[in-house]
Chains A and B, each alone.
Chain A
Amino acid sequence: MATLAEHAPRIEALAQELGLEYYPVDFELVPENFMMETAVYGLPVRMPHWSFGVRYIHQLIQRSMGNSRIFEVMFPGDPCHAYLVDSNTLPENVLVLAHVLGHADFARRNGLFVRSMEMAGGRILEQAAARAHRIDEALTEFGQERVEAVLDAALSLEAHIDANRPLYRAPYAELPPPEPPPAHPFQERYKDLPGEAPPPREDAVPRRLSVPPYPEYDLLWFIAQYGPELDGWERDIFLAVREESFYFYPVFACQIMNEGWASYWHARLLREADFLPQDLYVSAIKAHSDVVRPFAGERQLSLVVNPYHLGFSMWERIVEAQGIEAARRICSEDDDFGFVRNHLDAALAEKLDLFVYEIASDGETKIISRDIHAIHEAILAPKFNFGSPRIAATKMDVDGSLTLTHNHSDDGRGLDIARAERVLDYIARVWRRPVFLQTADDEGAPRELSRRAPK
């Protein structure tokens, strides 16, 4: 029986013929456990933290209950890295190989991915591994308690970056020293006399604008940059977490497009790969329909929309109606927000039976709308702002205390207070000065939380 390595070149040739463009892809067959851990950590080698342990156990339980199977993990870069489970069947892995080529093509075209790679380079995996190694060294040098305190804070703020600003940012501009006032004409006449030196300038020190000069949503950067007593290695950890978040952002912001694109291509590649043995093709297509089906098991209704299914259906339709070149243009220009709002129209939503539901506090679940705009917003709602509340650093006082402000009018409601307090605890331990957070309570009235650094 032919192996994956033997099928790969022919599938690749077909992909190139169909116009797929990609950076080199390294495929590796790995044990299932490695796969699961990679999915849990988000990277093949990443910093240690106990919260990953919790996710790992959840994954392990899910797997033992047969609920989740991870087919493939793919990391864009130059080269891209893709991992396949060595215990999967050959047809499954042929499908995954084709799917990964679709992802690789997407990452090469899509604007967010291109920008991310321009800023961070193509070797994120290696860099993440090196950072994990440095954190291991910090563990030996500074002890678990201290390193963990920094990771607790940095990882809890993982989503709080400002993806619109560059990865490498200079500190806020400082005001140039004020111009000396124009000399009085009277003085002008005497300035050349000996002993008439100009008076010493009052503030030779450059004055800084207040920090931050505007609400700063990149909390990881802000803390790394302005934390009053942060050590170098602590800064490094914040910046490490931030860099990884920047890397994850395009994947998050384009999930529907990206999974849909990869599914479109694996389906098309398989369809056109007439060199594949018939039984392999049939098994692979079966795996395909498992991946892109809308419902779990035998059910006919789902309260989540499967991004593979939605994206796949949308791309098929776009290619059918507008041609592959138009699809490629959309692929390079959009993210999920533009993609869903512009290309999920009422006809397709109706065909896919999409709806908006509401769960009342007593558990009653109702379909409340089939309006296309309501559907758009319901699909996109969890994706705003990297899936997190909008919180900005708004003020740093002379004593170093920090004020964070939650933009609760944008988010529609206040924060979960108990959790917010714990995050403030994490932050206060590394900020080492009082930290305040302004949000709203259940009634929408302003509420301020405060935390002091423990002694």
Chain B
Amino acid sequence: MTSRIRVSADAPWYDLFSRGARDWLRHNQKVRQAVNERLLDLLASGDFISNPTERTVRVPVRMLEHARFRLADPQSESGAGQGKGEVGDVLRPSKPGAGDEAGKGGTGQGEFQLMVELKLDDLVDWLWEELQLPDLKPKPSAAIDEDEIVREGISKRGIRARLDRRLTVKEAVKRRAIQSEPVPFVDDDLRFRQLKQRPRRATNAVVMFGLDVSASMTTVERQLAKTFFFFALQGLRRQYQRVETRFIAHTTDAWEFSEKDFFDVTGSGGTMASSAFRLALDLLDDHYEAAQYNAYLFYASDGENSTEDRPAAGASLQALAERLNYIGYLETRAGTVRFAQTDMRSLMDSLAASGAPVGSHIVSEKKDIWQAIRQFFVRQADQEARA
């Protein structure tokens, strides 16, 4: 007999590499992409704005299915089985209350859910790339705040604590290579890091959110405002080391709120936007020195403002415009058709026409928010470029 079989047991590389794990990671990447596409819906829930500890979102997702041609589910499924029993015997009773879906799930592997944990910062980064949004720079006029000490350059003299060992050894190696009888180290090898004091620009920002909570603002409109606020804030957070937030709600009068309460507040009666603008001015004057803070105001309203408030609102906005990097006005028009130019809109427009840093955006559904965000950041960057 000639042996035609060979038995071997040396397969050293099999343990080193898992194809399954690699393709599973790719699957997860695709899941993330799919999740990113519904980000707006996901992020609109939850108090992400001022709650810095909750920086991750957990989203339950289904595993992706690679589609194949398959026959439609039959009315009833049949197959071959094995075991005792007479024709007509019931092997499994019908499930009480089970509708059409029952019995169809028996074909494949059990479904299970994945939890995808998304880091908020990653999401915002992704968003910025996706929308190709520019990065903002701090107000160029921002005064010098404090000095910072930065590393700059290398020198042959210095104090011991700033000795750069790596560079020193490098120098020594170079020298030894060309010397015939090298010594380990000479003074000439030593390299020291140099420090320098440099003025630093203000990198703090305060973002104020104003919301019209008068009776005419619906839940949907608030949700729109909230989503817009969220992304505007995330964008600013990318630029500034420290961002403080303030929440102002108003009807005919204005109050400051915590984030959590802010979106739940409901007021009644008329609308006097000037009250919110004045409160914003007061906050700025009391807490945020112009030289140290870049300041932003985002204001959301359905556009209706009482007529007698117009001069007051105009004046306070004018005053705010001088202090702020930017005023973003978001007009929410969910469900209703209000084509006419609103009071607030014309106020903002005239302000913008006079050269103030003001932008208005109209949103009626979630997908408009992308546009608004985009518009806001692109315009901001343009203004900086001109400045």
Contacts and interface: CB of A to CB of B under 8 A. Distances in A.
A221 to B, nearest CB: 16
A414 B83 contact: no
Contact of A415 (B72, B78, B89): B72
Given A28-B11, A365-B90, A415-B71, A354 B84 contact: no
A25 B66 contact: no
Given A29-B8, A54-B27, A365-B92, 16 more contacts: A30-B11, A40-B20, A53-B21, A53-B25, A57-B24, A57-B63, A294-B82, A301-B84, A303-B106, A305-B80, A354-B81, A355-B85, A358-B78, A363-B98, A411-B71, A419-B68
Interface of A: 4-5, 8-9, 12-13, 16, 22-31, 33-34, 36-37, 40-41, 45-46, 48-54, 56-62, 86, 97, 101, 144, 152, 155-160, 294-295, 300-306, 309, 352-370, 375, 378-379, 381-382, 388-389, 391, 406, 411-417, 419-420, 422-423, 426, 442
Nearest to A4: B7
A50 B66 contact: yes
Interface in B322-349: none
A426 B79 CA distance: 31
A86 B9 contact: yes
A378 B81 CA distance: 9
A291 to B, nearest CB: 15
A143 B15 CA distance: 28
B210 to A, nearest CB: 41
B19 interface: yes
B6 A26 contact: yes
A156 B82 CA distance: 32
Top 7 A-B residue pairs of the complex, sorted by shortest distance between their CB atoms:
A56-B20, A301-B83, A53-B23, A53-B24, A51-B66, A422-B67, A364-B94
A227 to B, nearest CB: 18
B24 A367 contact: no
B94 A378 contact: no
Chain B CB count within 10 A is highest, among A303, A353, A370, A391, for A303
Contacts of A356: 78-81
Chain B contact surface mostly: loop
Given A29-B9, A54-B24, A301-B82, A415 B70 contact: yes
Contacts of B103: 359-365
A27 B305 CA distance: 83
A357 B100 CA distance: 18
B78 A363 contact: no
B165 interface: no
B113 interface: no
Interface in B2-45: 3-9, 11, 14-15, 18-28, 30
B151 interface: no
Contacts of B90: 364-366
Contacts of A26: 5-6, 8
Contact of A302 (B1, B22, B28, B82): B82
Nearest to B13: A34
Given A36-B20, A37-B20, A12 B67 contact: no
Contact of A54 (B66, B79, B83): B66
B14 to A, nearest CB: 4
Nearest to A440: B72
A426 B184 CA distance: 67
B269 interface: no
Contacts of B98: 362-363
A359 B81 contact: no
B27 to A, nearest CB: 4
19 contacts: A22-B4, A24-B6, A28-B7, A29-B11, A53-B21, A58-B109, A97-B5, A294-B83, A301-B82, A353-B85, A357-B78, A357-B80, A359-B76, A364-B92, A367-B89, A379-B80, A388-B69, A389-B71, A419-B70
B187 interface: no
B14 A301 contact: no
A25 B5 contact: yes
Contacts of A155: 66
Contacts of B14: 30-31, 33-34
A375 B80 CA distance: 6
A368 B5 CA distance: 48
B71 A367 contact: no
Interface string B46-77: 00000000000000000111111111111111
Given A56-B24, A86-B9, A415 B69 contact: yes
Nearest to B28: A53
